A and B are shown apart, each in its own frame.
Chain A
Amino acid sequence: MKLAADRLLGIVLIGLAAFVAVQAMQLEVPFSYDPVGPRAFPLGLAIILAVLSCVLIVKPGSNETWPGRQLGMKLLLVLATLLVYALLFTKLGFIITSLLAVTSLSRIFGASWGKALLTGGLMAVVSYFLFTHALGISLPSGYWVEPLL
């Protein structure tokens, strides 16, 4: 099983090398005094990558253990949390989104609801004032706050 992962990776990387090479060949290069131009370097890299990938397919190395179903679900939850955090970051503002994101992450990493909510509230508010007042970073306050200010 672990051998298969590296072989698959090798094939994917050869695909990447081919893609890099094709893209490099398609570059339209204006006349310049540079005898190498922007194509050669990526082309060379693509060749090296392809050769190394072939070695990897022939002699696969070891992998870490892959997450099982339960861990995979948590992984997706973390990614979803981070994505939602990013999506709403400017819309709802730093405090609200951080409260949500921190609470959610805390929960996923094993805190009880109470602890997670407390961490979320404290971290969102304290870090907002720390960043904006002590460090002078401007953070999105969110559309909902602006009318209140």
Chain B
Amino acid sequence: MFDFLIHGFDVALSPLNIGLAVLGALLGTLFGSLPGIGPINGIAILMPLAYTLGLPAESALILLAAIYTGAEYGGRMSSILLNVPGDAGAVMTTLDGHPLAKKGLAGPALGLSAISSFVGATIAIIGLTLFAPLLAEVAVMFGPAEFFALMVFAFASMSVMMGKDPIKTAIGAVLGVLIGTVGVDSSTGVLRYTFDLPELYDGIDFVVMIIGLFAISEILLMLEHANRKDGNDGLPPLGRVFVSLKEVVACKWTMGRSGLIGFIIGILPGTGASVAGAVAYTTEKRLSDKDNSFGTGNMRGLAAPEAANNASAAGSFVPMLTLGIPGSGTTAVLLGALMLYNITPGPMMFSERPEVAGGLIASLYIGNIVLLALNLPLAGVFARVLTIPRWVLVPGIAILAFVGVFQLHSNLAAIYLMLIIGIFGYLLRKLGFSLAPVILGYVLGGLMEQNLRRALSISGGDLGILWQSGISLGLWIAAFALLVLPWLLPKLLQAKTRKA
């Protein structure tokens, strides 16, 4: 059963792949530490690099996954030191992390969060190793109808869990799917929404989409903070550098529980690090906040979200590797990256491309250890990254974006398209949309249509096939329940209390 893992370690322990895991961990932590740049932006900006290096699929994935997990580590820097969460997943880290820094315990806080991240990620990676092959075995039985139902479920779960406004999340996902329909229709050869522009015949390119949507819109958004003082007015002193063993041991159950919570939440499609961090924090507050010190610099209040958000990052690989359905916006980007290599992740990947699935999982173990080794002694160095002024950061991102798109396409049309998508992304963010559903819709939409049409050609056009099997019917019911319950439950409860 664990053949894939042994094979995976063979792949991951090659000098090239170890080097890439270290490089990715370093770059990821650096990018994650940069103010305002979360994992998804980091991967978007660095992804073209993976292609430029001409890496094989498994190596590219190892590099990108290391950047992802590294960025989750890096996100805590600005949360703890500046009270500015680097991305949505790090919001809960600010609650107790920043008060600790203000007490002069920034060093121990960084140390503890690195250890919590390590513990959380380790729990989740072990979970991934045990759980993914099992799920893949079940998923082999999935036909196109089941996959279609699964994607409907994924979108339903995403609308409810992701972001604060379900309607906008759903609209974002639909817009993403629509962007994905541009280009030639693979089964009939009909051109859709290309407006007779030859540049659009192949559809809107993945790299152009990612860089435009995340990097360019980020540049525009950063303008608002251009005049705000960031790290320049001085970081809080780190205090003593190492966290004591006693403090770590005091948090051991917190880390364990939160890691488990993070892993389970990470598996659910559409629910990422932000939900995991919030659930772990509130659970821990209920369980162990005896003297009401959560929010004032409690070590446990810091350990809980940190363990959970790193665990959810590893957990979100489960649906991506076994079902081909990403669990978060960032894994959607990784999925798209794999598709550029003509690999469609899914249940067959464990048997057909074990070097990719196993190599990735094995490299997560290695990357996790590398990250701990980098982050404990180098916390002070990474903290310096926060003081990079935006007038250096922004032009740097612009150059990386231009070069990334240009070297893949060697034409200017792609760059103009990138700028247009960037403006579109900026407007969406200003209108209160989150971008993760858009990218999930864009990545999943094509697969969704393919599966729908495949299912209906099997049945000769009879819609009944979509909910014929037990699995697909169950998924439809689950999706429906997810959409209706949050709206129905409060009303039912209200009715009950009124009666009583």
Chain A, residues 56-89, CB within 8 Å of chain B (1/0): the string is 1001011110110001001100110011011101
Residues of B within 8 Å of A139, CB to CB, are 403, 406-407
Chain B, residues 81-104, CB within 8 Å of chain A (1/0): the string is 000000000000000000000000
Query: Is A148 among interface residues, defined by CB-CB distance under 8 A?
Result: no
Say yes or no: A108 contacts B190, CB within 8 Å: no
Q: Tell me how far the C-beta of A32 lies from the nearest C-beta in chain B, rounded to whole angstroms.
A: 5
Interface of B is mostly: helix
Alpha-carbon separation in the docked complex, A87 to B419 (Å): 12
Contact for B394 among A45, A90, A109, A115, CB less than 8 A: A109
Flag the segment in B37-45, B336-344, B427-435 that touches A. Answer: B427-435
Residues of A within 8 Å of B174, CB to CB, are 45, 48-49, 52
Say yes or no: B412 contacts A89, CB within 8 Å: yes
Alpha-carbon separation in the docked complex, A74 to B426 (Å): 14
Query: Is A96 among interface residues, defined by CB-CB distance under 8 A?
Result: no
Q: Tell me how far the C-beta of A96 lies from the nearest C-beta in chain B, rounded to whole angstroms.
A: 13
Query: Is B398 among interface residues, defined by CB-CB distance under 8 A?
Result: yes
Q: Tell me how far the C-beta of B483 lies from the nearest C-beta in chain A, rounded to whole angstroms.
A: 12
Contact for A108 among B52, B171, B177, B226, CB less than 8 A: B226
Say yes or no: B223 contacts A75, CB within 8 Å: yes
With contacts A42-B181, A137-B407 taken as known, whether A36 is within 8 angstroms of B391 at the C-beta atoms is no
Alpha-carbon separation in the docked complex, A89 to B407 (Å): 12
Contact for B192 among A5, A38, A71, CB less than 8 A: A38
Interface size class of B (residues with CB under 8 A): 35 or more
Query: Is A110 among interface residues, defined by CB-CB distance under 8 A?
Result: yes
Say yes or no: B412 contacts A75, CB within 8 Å: no
Q: Tell me how far the C-beta of A68 lies from the nearest C-beta in chain B, rounded to whole angstroms.
A: 10
Alpha-carbon separation in the docked complex, A74 to B171 (Å): 29
Query: Is A30 among interface residues, defined by CB-CB distance under 8 A?
Result: yes
- Name B432's closest neighbour in chain A (CB-CB): A63
With contacts A42-B178, A52-B171, A61-B167 taken as known, whether A34 is within 8 angstroms of B188 at the C-beta atoms is yes
Residues of A within 8 Å of B193, CB to CB, are 20, 23, 42
- Name B448's closest neighbour in chain A (CB-CB): A41
Contact for A90 among B189, B395, B412, CB less than 8 A: B412
With contacts A89-B415, A110-B390 taken as known, whether A38 is within 8 angstroms of B188 at the C-beta atoms is yes
Say yes or no: B456 contacts A35, CB within 8 Å: yes
Chain A, residues 1-37, CB within 8 Å of chain B (1/0): the string is 0000110010001000000100110011110111111
Query: Is A119 among interface residues, defined by CB-CB distance under 8 A?
Result: yes
Residues of A within 8 Å of B227, CB to CB, are 110
Contact for A32 among B49, B53, B187, B412, CB less than 8 A: B187
Query: Is B257 among interface residues, defined by CB-CB distance under 8 A?
Result: no
Q: Tell me how far the C-beta of B53 lies from the nearest C-beta in chain A, rounded to whole angstroms.
A: 7
Query: Is A111 among interface residues, defined by CB-CB distance under 8 A?
Result: yes
Residues of B within 8 Å of A120, CB to CB, are 395
Say yes or no: B52 contacts A38, CB within 8 Å: no
Say yes or no: B223 contacts A32, CB within 8 Å: no
Say yes or no: A64 contacts B394, CB within 8 Å: no
Q: Tell me how far the C-beta of A26 lies from the nearest C-beta in chain B, rounded to whole angstroms.
A: 10
Say yes or no: B192 contacts A27, CB within 8 Å: yes
Query: Is B216 among interface residues, defined by CB-CB distance under 8 A?
Result: yes
Residues of A within 8 Å of B222, CB to CB, are 109
Query: Is B199 among interface residues, defined by CB-CB distance under 8 A?
Result: no
Residues of B within 8 Å of A32, CB to CB, are 187-188
Residues of A within 8 Å of B168, CB to CB, are 56, 61
Chain A, residues 102-115, CB within 8 Å of chain B (1/0): the string is 10011111110001
With contacts A32-B188, A109-B394 taken as known, whether A41 is within 8 angstroms of B419 at the C-beta atoms is no
With contacts A49-B178, A108-B226, A137-B407 taken as known, whether A6 is within 8 angstroms of B431 at the C-beta atoms is yes
Alpha-carbon separation in the docked complex, A104 to B242 (Å): 42
Residues of A within 8 Å of B226, CB to CB, are 74, 108-110
Beyond A102-B399, A108-B226: 12 further Cβ-contacts under 8 Å? A5-B431, A24-B192, A34-B187, A41-B453, A82-B398, A86-B419, A90-B412, A106-B394, A115-B391, A119-B392, A123-B395, A135-B53
Interchain residue pairs with CB less than 8 A apart (15): A9-B431, A20-B178, A30-B188, A41-B452, A52-B174, A64-B429, A78-B223, A105-B391, A105-B398, A107-B391, A110-B391, A115-B391, A116-B391, A131-B407, A139-B403
**Top 8 closest pairs, chain A to chain B, by CB:** A35-B461, A111-B391, A102-B395, A38-B185, A109-B391, A106-B391, A105-B395, A61-B165
